[in-house]
Structure formats: structure tokens, C-alpha cells
């Protein structure tokens, strides 16, 4: 029988303040990132990340094994499914509007929902 308690989804918000491009850090609490829920008030921009492997002591821009910045093509009011393998060694994450080299400040405060789940 499936253990539904262990497989339930949880959502944590990564808030990007008005006039800013980077959220505060969000802890995964032992869960893995599976999706993003985009707010209606999103100023058009892709999403990239800063990741921490040591519970927020150090932060690095997130790149894949090929050296490409992990980028999500985001838009307002979307649910975006993610590959959880890319985030499996991350304990905390910051969401960035835009890329590391070209951040995009949000016109309104935005709560980007991070959909987490145990594996």
C-alpha cells in the first residue's frame, strides 16, 4: 500500500519583494523540488536559482553538469513541472527573476510557490 503521508505535496513560498529580483532562501526540509506555481502578478522573466548545500551558509548560482545555468521559462499564472534530480543536492534555494547576468526586478511583490515532495 502506498504511504500517502510520505508522498503528499507541500508548498513553500519564495517571496520576491517589489523592486527586487531575488527571493530570500527557502529550506526544503528534507523534501525535493518538483514544481513551481507562478503568481498572476509576475513581471515577464525566466527563473534561475541560487542554491545552498549547507543550510544557507553559502550560496551559489545553480548550473547543470554541462555548465549551463538552470533556467525555467516562467510566465504568470502557470504551474511548471520540474525535474527533481536537478535539485536533489540542494538544502535551500533562492528564486531569481531573470538570470545571474541579467536579473529582472519585479514590479509587484511576488510569491513564487515551490512545490515540494518526499521521494
Going by pLDDT thresholds of 50, 70 and 90, the confidence category of residue 119 is confident
* pLDDT at residue 4, rounded to an integer: 52
| The pLDDT of residue 6 is above 70 | no
Per-residue DSSP letter, 22: B
20-76 confidence digits (pLDDT tens): 999 999 999 989 999 999 999 999 999 999 999 999 999 999 999 999 999 999 999
- Name 30's Cβ contacts closer than 8 Å, sequence gap at least 6: 118
Strands 32-37 and 26-27: unpaired
Contact 46, 73 (CB under 8 A): yes
* pLDDT at residue 18, rounded to an integer: 98
Alpha-carbon distance 55 to 51, whole Å?
9
Amino acid at each position: 500500500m502506498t504511504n500517502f503521508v510520505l508522498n503528499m505535496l507541500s508548498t513553500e513560498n519564495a517571496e520576491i519583494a517589489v523592486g527586487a529580483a531575488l527571493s530570500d532562501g527557502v529550506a526544503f526540509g528534507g523534501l525535493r523540488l518538483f514544481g513551481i506555481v507562478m503568481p498572476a502578478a509576475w513581471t515577464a522573466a525566466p527563473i534561475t536559482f541560487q542554491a545552498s548545500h549547507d543550510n544557507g551558509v553559502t550560496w551559489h548560482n545553480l548550473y547543470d553538469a554541462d555548465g549551463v545555468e538552470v533556467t525555467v521559462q516562467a510566465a504568470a499564472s502557470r504551474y511548471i513541472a520540474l525535474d527533481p534530480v536537478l535539485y536533489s543536492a540542494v538544502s535551500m534555494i533562492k528564486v531569481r527573476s531573470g538570470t545571474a547576468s541579467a536579473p529582472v526586478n519585479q514590479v509587484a511583490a511576488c510569491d513564487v510557490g515551490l512545490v515540494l515532495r518526499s521521494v
